[in-house]
Amino acid sequence: MEVKLHPAMQAALAAADQALGRTSPNPPVGAAVWAADTLISTGWTQPPGGPHAEVVALQTAGSRARGAELYVTLEPCTIWGRTPPCTDAIVAAGIRRVVIASRDPNPRFERDAASVLQAAGIEVAFDPAAQPHAEVQTEAFRRWITTKRPFVSVKYAMTLDGKIATYTGDSRWITSPPARQRVHAWRDQVDAILVGVGTLLADDPLLTTRIDQHWRPVRHPLRVIVDAHGRTPASAAMLQPAVPGTTVIATTAAATPVWRASIANAEIIELPANPAGQVELGALLDWLGQHDITSLMVEGGGTIIASFLAAGLIDKLLVWIAPKLIGGASAPTPVGGPGIALMQQAHTFTWQQIETIGPDLLAVAYPVR
C-alpha cells in the first residue's frame, strides 16, 4: 500500500529532484515552508558554494517563515562548510517546527540538528514514511561522505534471453528510444560514467548526455576509461576537441610512453595493477572520491562489470530488459569472467523498483550485504 506523505514533504522531495546532479560533493536536498495549510515556498541545494535547500526556501518565504513549519529531506547541517550552518538560518527565521525525512551521516557533525534546534525552542519531528525516498535521493552522498568513494551503479541492457549483443557484436539497439532517453537522464544526474577499453574499441561511444527538450542545460559527466595497457586510440570519438566534457583514462605502468604521448584531450592517471594486470578498481574509486566524484555509473560490457562484481564494488544495478530474443551460444551476456561453480556462490540482490518504459522493462536492484 502506498504511503501518503504530507503535501509539504512531497514538495520537499520533488524539490530535491531538481538538485540531482548539480550539488556534488554536497547532497541534493529539498525543503518546503508550510503554514496555515498552505505551501509557502520550496528550495533545493544550489551548486557548491551556494545556499543549501533550507536557506533557499526560507529566503523565498521571507517574513512568512516566522511561526511556520519547515519540511526538509535531509537533516539540516550544524557545522560551517562553504556556507554557515543551516540550523542558524532556521532559528533566525523564526521557524516553529521542523520535520526531517532522513538523518545526515556526515561524521563531522558534533551535534545533531534535533538537539541544536530543540535547544532553541523549535519542535523537531522525523518522518519515517519519507525516509526511504530521501535516502535514495542522497545515496551517492551517503556512500561518499562515509567512505570517500563514489556510489557505483551498474547499467546494462539485455534481451529476454540475457544477451547484450548478437554473436557478431551488434548491440544497436537493444532497447527503445524511451529507455535510452532515461539513460541520458541518468547521465545528467551522475558525476562520472565508466567503460572498459573493450567497450571503447567495440563501440567508440561518445558518452555524452543527449536529452530531447531538457528543462535545464545538460550535464556531461566525467568520462572514465579503464585501460590497463594503453590501447585507447587517439582517434577515439570522445577524445575529439569538439566533444563536450572531460575524459580520464585510468591505466597502469604497463602503458607505454609512446601511447601516453599520443593521447590528447584526456587526463591519464596511472594506478596500481591487480594480480591479473588490470587496473585496481579500489584505487580508481579512491582517486575519484578524492576528486569529489560521489556517483559513478558503469556502462561497460561483461568484462568490466564482472570485475566490479568480483571486487564487491557494485552498489546498485540498473537493468534494462528488452522483449527480444536473439539466441546464440557465443552471444555475450552482461557479466563475463569465469563465473561461479555453485549456485550457492551467486551474488544476491534485492529488488527496489520494477517499471515499464515504452516496450522495455527497467529493474533496479541492490546487493544483499
139 neighbors 102 (Cβ within 8 angstroms): no
Count helices and strands (H / E) in the chain: 11, 14
CA distances in angstroms from 165 to 171, 180, 189, 328, listed in the order given = 4, 16, 27, 10
Question: Exposure pattern of 197-232 as b/e (b: 16+ CB <10 Å)?
Answer: bbbbeebeebbbbebeeeeeebbbbbbbbbbbbbeb
The strand order across the sheet containing 69-72 reads: 38-44, 30-35, 69-72, 97-100, 123-126
Q: How large is the greatest C-alpha to C-alpha distance in the chain, in angstroms?
A: 70
54 is catalytic: yes
Residue from 255, 257, 209, 207 nearest 232 by CA: 255
Cell, residue 194:
565508466
Place of cell 549456485: 343
Which of 2, 54, 69, 75 is the catalytic position?
A: 54
- Which amino acid is located at 257 in the chain? P
Residues 6+ apart with CB under 8 A from 186: 153, 155, 297, 318
> Residue 323 phi/psi, 5° resolution?
-75, 65
CA 147 distance to own-chain centroid: 15
Catalytic residues: 54
